[in-house]
Structure 1
Amino acid sequence: MTQQERHTAFIKEQAKALGFDYCGIARAEQLDDDARRLEAWLGKGLHGGMQYMENHFDLRIDPRKLVPGAKSVITFLLNYYPEQQQRPDAPQVAKYAYGADYHEVIRARLNQFLQCLRAEIGEVQGRGFVDSAPVLERSWAQRSGLGWIGKNGNIIHKQAGSFFFIATLIVDLPLAYDGPVTDHCGRCTRCLDACPTGALAAPGLVDGSRCISYFTIELKDALIPEKFQGQFRNWAFGCDICQDVCPWNRFAQPHQQEALQPIPALLNMSTQEWEEMSETTFRELFRQSPIKRSKYKGLQRNLQFLKLK
Structure 2
Amino acid sequence: MALTKEQLIRQRAEELGYEGCGIIPIGAMDGYRDKFLERMEKLPESVPFYRNQQRLTEPLVHFPWARSVVVLAMPYGKYRIPEQVKGRIAKTYLTDVRADANTTEYQSSLLMEEYLQELGLRTAGNRKFGVVGLRWAALEAGLGIIRRNNFLYTKSGSWVHLEAWLTDGEMELRQQEVLPPCPKNCTKCQSACPTRSLSAPYVMQPAACISYMTTFGGRELWQEPLRHSFGSCIYGCDLCQDACPMNRNQWKETLDFPGLPEVAELLEPERILELTEDTYREKIQPKFFYLSPEELWKWKINVLNYMRNNYRDGYRNPILQACGSSHDGIRRMAQAVREELQLEA
TM range (shorter): 0.7 to 0.9
- In structure 2, the CA distance between the partners of 1:83 and 1:47, relative to structure 1 (3 Å rule), is same
Other-structure match for 1:238: 236
Give the equivalent residue in structure 2 for 1:173.
169
Show CA shifts across 1:70-113 (max 9, x none): 33211111222253223278771111222465245467644532
From the CA coordinates, give the structure whose radius of gyration is larger. Answer: 2
For the 8 Å contact 2:68–2:166, the answer to whether it is kept is yes
Are 1:71 and 2:70 counterparts?
no
TM-score (norm 2): 0.75
Superimposed CA distance per residue, residues 250-287 of structure 1 (whole angstroms, 9 cap, x where no aligned partner): 252548888x5352134455433333333333233314
Q: Which range moved further: 107-116 or 21-30? A: 107-116
Determine which structure has greater relative contact order: mean sequence separation of CA pairs < 8 Å that are 6+ residues apart, divided by chain length: 1
Q: Which moved more, 1:164-173 or 1:89-98?
A: 89-98
Answer whether contact 1:152 1:204 (CA < 8 A) is retained. yes
Q: Does 1:288 align with 2:283?
A: no
Q: How many corresponding residue pairs?
A: 300
Q: Please state whether the residue corresponding to 1:174 is helix, strand or coil.
A: coil
The amino acid of 1:115's aligned partner reads E
Local SS of the residue matching 1:242: helix
Q: Point out the more displaced range, 29-38 or 187-196.
A: 29-38
Corresponding position of 1:23? 21
How far apart, in 1, do the equivalents of 2:47 and 2:297 lie?
21
Question: Cα offset for 1:126?
Answer: 1.8
> Out of 196, 208, 211, which is 2:209 matched to?
211
Rounded Cα–Cα distance in structure 1 between residues aligned with 2:241 and 2:202: 13
Query: What is the alpha-carbon distance in structure 2 between the residues aligned to residue 286 and residue 200 of structure 1?
Result: 29
Question: In structure 2, what is the equivalent of residue 116 of structure 1?
Answer: 115
For 1:73-222, what aligned pairs fall within 5 Å after superposition? Answer: 73-87=69-83, 92-99=88-95, 102-103=98-99, 105=101, 109-119=108-118, 121=119, 123-157=120-154, 159-178=155-174, 184-187=181-184, 188-219=186-217, 221-222=219-220
Contact 1:102/1:290 (<8 A) preserved: no
The DSSP-based 3-state class of the residue aligned with 1:74 is strand
1:113–1:88 Cα change, 3 Å? closer
Whole-Å separation in 1 of the counterparts to 2:305 and 2:216: 15
Distance 1:263 1:129, change over 3 A: same
Distance 1:276 1:34, change over 3 A: same
- Structure 1 residues 36-75: Cα deviation after superposition (integer angstroms, max 9, x where no partner): 321132343453753xx31574x53354444333332111
Gap runs ≥5 in structure 2: 310-345
CA contact (8 A) 2:149 2:202 kept: yes
CA distance in 2: counterparts of 1:151 and 1:298, whole angstroms: 30
Q: TM-score, normalised by structure 1?
A: 0.83
Q: What 5-or-longer segments of structure 1 have no aligned partner? A: none
**SS of 1:102 mapped into structure 2:** coil
What is the rounded CA distance, in whole Å, between the counterparts of 1:68 and 1:107 in structure 2? 27
- Aligned residue identity for 1:94: A
Shift of 1:131: 4.3
Partner of 2:261: 264
Aligned residue type for 1:298: K
Counterpart code for 2:12: Q
Query: Mean Cα displacement is larger for which, 180-189 or 233-242?
Result: 180-189
Query: What is aligned with 1:298?
Result: 298
Q: Sequence identity, in percent?
A: 23
SS in 2 for 1:217: coil
Shift of 1:117: 2.7
Equivalents in 2 of 1:253, 1:182: separation in Å?
18
The superposition leaves residues 141-177 of structure 1 with CA deviations (integer Å, 9 ceiling, x where unpaired) of 00111111111111011x2101111100111223342
Give the counterpart letter for 1:84 in structure 2: R
